[in-house]
Amino acid sequence: MTRRQYPQSRRTAGRPISRRTLLQSTLGCTAGALASSWFPAFAADAAADPRRQRACILLWMSGGPSQMDTFDPKPEHKNGGGLKTIETSVSGIRISENLPHVAKWMQRMAIVRSMSTKEGDHSRGTYLMRTGYRPQGPIQYPAIGALYSKELAKEHRDLPGYISIAPFRGFNASAYGPGFLGPSYAPLIVGGNGPARVNDQPTTSLRVENLSLPGDVDTVRHDDRLSILSDLEDDFTASRPGNAVSGHRSAYQNAVRMMRSESIAAFELDDEPDSLKQKYGLTDFGQGCLLARRLIERGVPFVEVSLNNAAGNGNSFGWDTHQENVSRVASLCKVLDPAWAALMEDLDSRGLLDTTTIVWMGEFGRTPRINRNGGRDHFPAAWSSVLAGGGVQGGKVVGQTGPDGMKVTDRPVNVQDFLATLCCCMGIDGGGENISNVGRPILIVDPEAKPIKEIIA
Amino acid sequence: MNIKHIGWITGIVAGIVVLFGPRPLLASDDAPDEVAELAVRIDRHIAAAWETEGVVPAPLADDAEFLRRTYLNLAGTIPPVSEVREFLAETAPNRRRRLVDRLLDHPGYVNHFAHSWRLLMIPEADVDQQVRFLAPSFEGWLRDKFIDNAAYDDIARELIACPISGNEREGPVAFYRAKNVQPESVASSVSRLFLGVQLDCAQCHNHPFAEWEQKEFWAFTAFFAGIEGTPLGSVSDDSTRREIAIKGGDTVVQARFIDKTKPKWAGQARSREVLAEWITDKNNAYFARTGANRVWAHFFGSGIVNPPDNFDESNPPTHPALLDDLAVAFAAHDFDFKFLIRAITASETYQRSSRQTHASQADQRWLGRMPVKGLSPRQITDSLMQATGIYQQTNLRNRAFNVGNNGSLEAQITSLFENQTASNVDPQTTILQALALMNSQFVTQQTQPNSNSTLAAVLQAPFLDREGKIEALYLAALSRKPSDKELSRLRTFMESKPDEKVGIAQRVIQNVLSLGQRTTLQSSAQEKALADIYWALLNSSEFLFNH
């Protein structure tokens, strides 16, 4: 597995054209020739704060969020389910009445209404959207969190580069793993590991357990212990080379680094004023978004927060609203809306929004036609996702799905197109490659992918 | 795979046995030793692949390596120190086979295999809050089966054809409840479990890679068409129904077996019974091969076909002749688990060391060395309890019933270590696991002499010198003696610490003072150093993995 040196932003600012930008234009990130309009802005940004880390926050909607009730409403058609729309901060763009706070940030958001993928099964759809590939054959693709954090991260990190907050991995655990990149790119998982937990109490579960040494062991003694352990591991590695033992070592090294780092203060949510915590919402997801902001502030390049449940939704799982769609999505939006808007505002006021790209999506969308139980079933043919923040040309809508929402009528976007767009927004060199577990090199972005140029800033 | 092929294969195998003759490995009587014969054939198949792939095999494992590995595989835990000492002192040539025989009668075998099959059959119980409550009684039913050494086909038949009615939640009906009493979920699971066929994609559309069509999936599901109910409520079964409507449409399909053949319906035959008979038939190639493959996977970390629930053209067996041989033998011995286990563990392939002595051993598929495998959460919990001396206090019979306790050691370990992938070869250690093993309350307490009486006993034993104490810690944690190099290194470490002697009078006073008070006893620097060694042993990859 090759690990390429990530160029320091400091150096980039001095050079007229970086290798990265050259490759980006080759892959079609830019609208025209090399001297395109976005480059000077990018260089200026980098010059302004040479140490600013590009980052990504993935807001993952487990279960498959309904586009008809969120970003692609159809108030004129019976498929719309009777939901009304509201204005947003961008004239001409209207979204569902379920998201009033998010609506005020539309100028920083780009909605893709023409997502069109082919996997309608939770397990396969989750894998597809989270890795960019269908689950097939022997190749173990990494989750985009692992893949992109590897590209975005600076050399020395106290905190892991990929942190996953309250994920529900039951549909497809390998879609949350580092795949062929190996255990050192595995996510640090914080918070609920189980299925939908109905819990709207302020959460203390977003902590990393076992970070401090026991009372009678000081650092000197801990070093003694680690030294004995290191000798044991050296012997064992020599006779049993392979991923198991090297992964074990890597995990321990990262764990000790975390223990001794000041950055773990990030997890102390009680450091934040109550008023801010309330603004995000006292839900797992809300507090998870607050934690995400704190992690981004401390240089973590990729954080994902999963929204798996909402109070009052009984035993329906997350966004998988096969029954009572309207009321359940409304409850879920009551969690999503304040949290996401608070996150945008918080990042913006700290000057982080320009370098943090936010992605909102799930494994697929939901059927425009409402079923017998008042629900919507799985629908990958035409659904919505959103990109926001850094590198994104806000206030835009890409694609259309016709009056009944049954199919994409303009500009279909598949998973690789979408992820390529995300890479462009974040300045990730899509031409970079990693060696897979079968020895074949895999490019970060599929060369056939067509990034959506209109929404790349 | 055609059922008729089994006949050919039986003939070929019988021919080979006649030609090369039986060569009992370590048997002690004169009767034909079929365990040894199968073990020899296993080794021949594996060796044939080495020829083709250019693999140079590692040497056989030494007794300590074999003991620990086999204890973990059969009893689900590391061996107690007394067993380690005894086994390492044994000299009888058939001591390894006798160990296996002993372990097959150990309560750990029942616990471990019942738990492993429970994980295979209702994995939902670890994820779905509702279904969790069904796991203990289901596992209890499996334990009864293993206590009776029930045959694999009997277990399958009982599961597939069990009565489903009323509010009964105990036993095999829990399987149906865990799948939401939905015919399509049950059909998918039964097909993966017992036939090694993943039909799931074909539920909604024609399978993209294999031959299954949507109609075929539903035709198989039709055997379960009569079941109805809710996971925790009442359930019922219209047991003679044999047709089902494809979901989301009006097409009705009749029940058909997976190979598209029509069942011979006799009068009011119950559909699931008919299916159970077909699945468990001795000539059903899917059933025997899937079963043998899973038993193989139990010992080697992944199956000859891996993932083991996906027998597909795109996923061929690494050793097709071996798999067929195992399947035929399994069926010929009436699907007796213990026979197959004895044969596998008697093979040299199973007894090979996990040390790598040649680069060609790196490709784990060819088993040039034993792969390093992860432990299940329960194995980790039980091994930790065994290594720290608190194992004896738990009631082995009630193991299955500790699931509900959220704060328990097992619950914490399960949430940290559960593995949702198809094989446990090359397990991945996470930061959270490392933090827990280093700093958790359990490990902290168990590595402090004043809160772990077993540790204290070792550290203070007057009949053990420094080397003896280190050896005792190694035997407890790693089930082996330390090498000379390790002893010398650790002696140097201990000599670097002050050597205050705590006199007997002082120790008695300390003990008296600590009675009834929550004061912690001061350990001497030497005791702390030994505790540090113990901590390192418990945090090592040698402890955490099965190798």
> Mean pLDDT: which of A304-318, A337-351, B11-25 is highest?
A337-351
Question: B338 pLDDT exceeds 90?
Answer: yes
Contacts of B372 in chain A (CB under 8 A): 240, 242, 244-245
Instruction: Specify which residues B166 forms β-bridges with.
Output: B235
For an interface test with B, the pick among A224, A243, A438 (most B C-beta atoms closer than 10 Å) comes out as A224
Read off the pLDDT of each residue in B532-547 and give the average, rounded to a whole number: 97
Long-range residue pairs from B331-335, CB within 8 A, at least 24 positions apart, any chain: B331/B6, B331/B282, B331/B283, B331/B288, B332/B10, B333/B34, B334/B151, B334/B153, B335/B151, B335/B152, B335/B153, B335/B154, B335/B288, B335/B291
Asked whether the beta carbons of B106 and B70 are under 8 A apart, the reply is: no
Convert the pLDDT of each residue in A202-245 to its tens digit: 455 687 888 889 888 999 999 999 999 999 999 999 999 988 99
Q: Which of A26-40, A76-90, B511-525 has the highest average model confidence (pLDDT)?
A: A76-90
Q: Which of B438, B440, B546 to mutate to test the interface with A (most CBs of A within 10 A)?
A: B438
Alpha-carbon distance of B156 to B171, in angstroms, equals 13
Tell me if chain B has a CB within 8 Å of the CB of A41: no
Distance to chain A for B431, nearest Cα, Å: 5
Binary contact (A210, B314; C-beta < 8 A)? no
For B511, the enclosing helix (H) or strand (E) is helix B504-514
Could you tell me which of A412, A356, A358, A421 has the C-alpha nearest to residue A384? Answer: A412
Quick check: B434 and A252 CB within 8 A?
yes
- Per CB-CB distance under 8 Å, the chain B contacts of A127 are none
pLDDT tens, position by position, A174-210 = 899 888 887 778 888 888 643 333 344 445 568 788 8
Say if strands A396-398 and A433-435 run parallel, antiparallel, or are unpaired. unpaired
- B133 or B204, which is more confident? B133
pLDDT category of residue A43 using cuts at 50, 70 and 90: very low
pLDDT at B94: 95
Stronger pLDDT, B348 or A299, i.e. the higher one = B348
Is A194 in Cβ contact with B129 (below 8 Å)? Answer: yes
Please state which of the ranges A27-36, A336-345, B85-94, B269-278 shows the lowest mean pLDDT: A27-36
Greater confidence, A213 or B6? A213
What is the pLDDT at residue B2?
57
Asked if A255 reaches chain B (Cβ–Cβ under 8 Å), the answer is yes
Q: A167 versus B536: which is more confidently predicted?
A: B536
Residues of B in contact with A229 (CB under 8 A): 536, 539-540
Element (H, E) at A384: strand A383-389
pLDDT digits over B66-101, tens only? 999 999 999 999 999 999 999 999 999 999 999 999
Residue-wise pLDDT for B187-196, tens only, equals 989 998 999 9
Distance CA B325, CA B9 (A): 8
Q: Between vectors from CA B545 to CA A219 and to CA B448, what angle results, nearest 5°?
A: 35
pLDDT at B13: 57
- Decide if pLDDT at B418 tops 80: no
* Partners of residue B431 in chain A, C-beta under 8 Å: 160, 186, 188, 251, 254-255, 258
Mean pLDDT of A331-337: 96
Beta strands, E only, B416-487: none
Higher pLDDT, B514 or A451: A451
pLDDT attached to residue B185: 87
Confidence bin at B23 (pLDDT 50/70/90): very low
Alpha helix positions (H), B56-94? 63-75, 81-89
User: What are the C-alpha distances in Å from A48 to residues A293, A345, A356, B60?
Assistant: 21, 21, 16, 64
Q: For A168, which residue in chain B has the nearest alpha carbon?
A: B127
Residue A144 pLDDT exceeds 90: yes
The answer to whether the CB of A54 falls within 8 A of the CB of A427 is: yes
Give the mutation candidate from B214, B429, B495, B544 for the A interface (greatest A CB count, under 10 A): B429
Distances (CA, A) of B271 to B221, B256, B285, B286: 11, 11, 21, 20
Task: Please give the residue that has the higher pLDDT: either A156 or B524.
Answer: B524
Question: For residue A443, what are the β-bridge partners?
Answer: A433
The conformational region for residue A208 under phi > 0 = left, psi -120 to 50 = alpha, else beta, is: beta
Nearest-CA distance B4 → chain A (Å) = 29
Mean model confidence pLDDT for chain A: 85
CA distance B277 to chain A (A): 32
pLDDT of B124 reads 75
What is the band of A47 on the pLDDT scale with cuts at 50, 70, 90? Answer: very low
Q: Which of B374, B432, B489 comes nearest A231 by C-beta?
A: B489
> Mean pLDDT, chain B, as a whole number?
86
Comparing CA positions, the residue from B166, B180, B183 lying closest to residue B271 is B183
Which of A5-14, A99-108, B461-470 is predicted least confidently? A5-14
What local confidence, expressed as pLDDT, does residue A314 receive? 65
pLDDT in tens, B272-322: 999 999 999 988 889 999 999 999 999 999 999 988 888 877 789 999 999
Q: Confidence band (pLDDT; 50, 70, 90) for B249?
A: confident
Partner B contacted by A244 (CB < 8 A) = yes
Looking at residue B25, its pLDDT comes to: 47
B513 or A308: which leads in pLDDT: A308
Mean pLDDT of B143-155: 97
A173 half-sphere exposure, CB direction, 13 A CA radius: 15
In this predicted structure, the answer to whether residue B251 has a pLDDT above a threshold of 90 is no
Name the percent of chain B lying above pLDDT 70: 84
Does domain A53-455 fall under CATH 3.40.720? My reply is yes
Judged by a CB distance cut-off of 8 A, whether residue B358 touches chain A is no
Interface size between A and B, measured as CB pairs under 8 A: 148
pLDDT value, residue B399: 52
